[in-house]
Structure 1
Amino acid sequence: MIFIFDIFIAENLTIKNGLKNIFGINNYYANFFLKKLGFSSNAKIKNLNAEQIKSLITIIENSKLLLNNDLKLLLVKNHSKYINLKCYKGLRKVYGYPVRGQRTRSNAKTAKKVLKNLKLL
């Protein structure tokens, strides 16, 4: 296992899938970092040496992306801003309903998942 940005990443994963385990790095950014370093998309994490791991970490740090706890904190701040204003959007978030006009009669599962995740933080 490799410890990158406070996350343990299994060595049997590809580098791309390992990077996608970090909150804030999606498929696009994982491919971008791989191309920038010249790694193959099928390369495994266990095949990387210490220098390659250090270069991967420095490139991710220099990209100025918000990752893990910083990104989660920003999302919570954005949600709490609307909740504190007690505007329509904030009230919908408090009750766990969809915010942007989606129907609630049959589909509101995703909005309820977001509310559940906010309560955990």
Structure 2
Amino acid sequence: MPRLLGVDIPGDKRLEASLPYIYGIGPTRSKQICELAEIDPNIRAKELTDQQLNRIITVIQDNKFVIEGDLRRELQQNLKRLQAINSYRGIRHRRGLPVRGQRTGTNARTRKGPRKTVGVVRNKDAKAGK
């Protein structure tokens, strides 16, 4: 299992399919990295030599791709900024509601979480007629 930039990528998969295990690298960027590093995207990740691994790392660093911790930190800062300026999107993030205009009357369970049934608490003396 090769290790790239602090992330273990699966060795049994093709290089093109194993690079997206790095946060911030998707399928398109994976193809782009393989082209720039001049490495066959169909080679298995465990078959990579140290020289090829170094070429992949230099391509990622030279093109200033934001990945892993830096990307996560940047996204968190964006959310904090939206919440600090009390924008509509920031308020929706803070309340855990859908941010991009989806309906919330029904559905939206992913953001809102499981249903919390609100019922009436009955007085036990009321039923007996006392």
Please give the range of the TM-score, normalised by the shorter of the 2 chains.
0.7 to 0.9
- Figure out how many residues of one structure are paired with residues of the other and give that number: 113
* Change over 3 Å in CA distance of 1:109–1:86 after alignment to 2: same
User: Which structure 1 residue ranges, 5 or more long, are not aligned?
Assistant: 114-121
Normalising by the residue count of structure 1, what TM-score does the alignment of the two structures yield?
Answer: 0.83
1:37 deviation in Å?
Answer: 2.5
The aligned counterpart of 1:52 is: 52
Q: 2:4 and 2:66 mapped to 1: Cα distance?
A: 14
Label 1:2 to 1:109 Cα distance change in 2 as closer, same or farther (>3 A). farther
Distance in 1 (alpha carbons) for counterparts of 2:31 and 2:61: 16
| Distance in 2 of aligned mates of 1:100 and 1:53 | 39
Segment drifting more, 1-10 vs 62-71: 1-10
Q: Distance in 2 between matches of 1:108 and 1:62?
A: 41
1:87 aligns with 2:81: no
The CA distance in 2 between the partners of 1:16 and 1:95, in whole Å, is: 38
1:1-121 → structure 2 map (5 Å cutoff): 1-109=1-109, 111=111
Q: Greater CA radius of gyration, 1 or 2?
A: 2
| Unmatched 5+ stretches in structure 2 | 114-130
| C-alpha distance in 2 between matches for 1:81 and 1:24 | 21
Describe the shift of the 1:61–1:112 C-alpha distance in structure 2 as closer, same or farther (beyond 3 A). Answer: farther
**Whole-angstrom distance in 1 between the partners of 2:39 and 2:111:** 38
Note the C-alpha offset of 1:64: 0.5
**Residues 82, 19 of structure 1: CA spacing in aligned structure 2 closer, same or farther, 3 A cutoff?**
same
Normalised to the residue count of structure 2, the TM-score between the two structures is: 0.78
Higher helix proportion (structure 1 or 2):
1
C-alpha contact 2:83 2:94 (8 A) present in aligned 1: yes
Question: What is the percent sequence identity of the aligned residues?
Answer: 29
Instruction: Note the C-alpha offset of 1:110.
Output: 5.3
